[in-house]
Structure 1
Amino acid sequence: MDFIAEYWAEFLFGGLATVITAMLSAGYRKLARKVEEHEQVKDGILAILHDRLYQLCQYYLGQGTITPNALKNVEYLYRSYHSLGGNGTGTELYTRVTKLPLDLEGADDNEH
C-alpha cells in the first residue's frame, strides 16, 4: 500500500498517457481511411472527366470544326481535368481541338 501511495501520480499519468495514445492512434487510422476515400473519389472523377473529354474531342476532331459554345464546354472540362492532375492523352486532344476552325454558323452543341 505504501508503494501505491508513494507512486500514485506515476500510475495515474502512465494510464492517462496510454488512453491518450490509444485515442490518437484511432483518430489517425480514421483520418487515413478518409484520405484514402478522398483519393479514390478524386481518381474516379478524373476518370469520368477523361472519358468525357476524350469523347468530345474525338467527336469534334472527326467533325473538323467546333462551335464557340462547344469549345467553351471542352475548355471547362479540360480545366477541371487538368486541375485534378490529368494530363497526357487529355491534354494532347484538348490542344488539337483548340486548333480547330470555329464553326460560327453551327447549331448550339448542348446535346454532345
Structure 2
Amino acid sequence: MDWIAEYLPKLVYWAITGALAVVCGTLWKRVQKTHAQEAVERNAIREGVIAMLHNTLYRIHRIYMDQGYCTLGDKKSIESIYEAYSKLGGNGTGKQAYEEMMSLPTEPMEK
C-alpha cells in the first residue's frame, strides 16, 4: 500500500499533464486550420476585388475612349479606382487603360 501513496500523486500529475497536452495540441491545430482557411478566403476576396476593379476600368475605358474626352471629375474618380486596383496588385493591362484615359482631353473637341 505504501507504493500507492508514493506513486499515485505522480500518476495523477502525469495523467493531467498528458490530457492538457492533448487538449492544447488539438486546440492549436484547430486555430491553425481556421487561420489557413481565413487566409484562403481573404485571398479569394482580394482576387475578386481586383477582378471587379479591372472590369470597371475596362468598361469605363471603352466609354471614355468612344466619347473622346474625360472630365477632370471623372479622371479623379478613375484615379481612385486605379489606385485601389494597383495597391491590391492589379496587373499592367489596367495600368494601360488608366493611362489612356488620363491622356484624353478634359473637354469635347470643338467641331
TM-score, structure 2 length as denominator? Answer: 0.83
Q: Are the equivalent residues in 1 in contact too, given 2:68–2:108 (CA < 8 A)?
A: no
How many residue pairs match? The answer is 105
User: How much does 1:104 deviate?
Assistant: 7.4
User: How much does 1:87 deviate?
Assistant: 2.0
Equivalent residue number for residue 54 of structure 2: 50
User: How much does 1:5 deviate?
Assistant: 4.1
Residues in 1 aligned to 2:108 and 2:77: alpha-carbon distance in whole angstroms: 15
Spell out structure 1 runs of 4+ moving beyond 6 A: none
Pick the aligned partner of 1:12 from 16, 21, 24.
16
TM-score, structure 1 length as denominator? Answer: 0.82
Superposed, 1:67-78 pairs within 5 Å as 67-78=71-82
Where in structure 1 are there 5+ consecutive unaligned residues? 106-112
Residues in 1 aligned to 2:70 and 2:13: alpha-carbon distance in whole angstroms: 77
Amino acid at match of 1:34: E
What is the aligned-residue RMSD (CA, Å)? 1.9
The answer to whether residue 27 in structure 2 is matched with residue 27 in structure 1 is no
Percent pairwise identity: 29
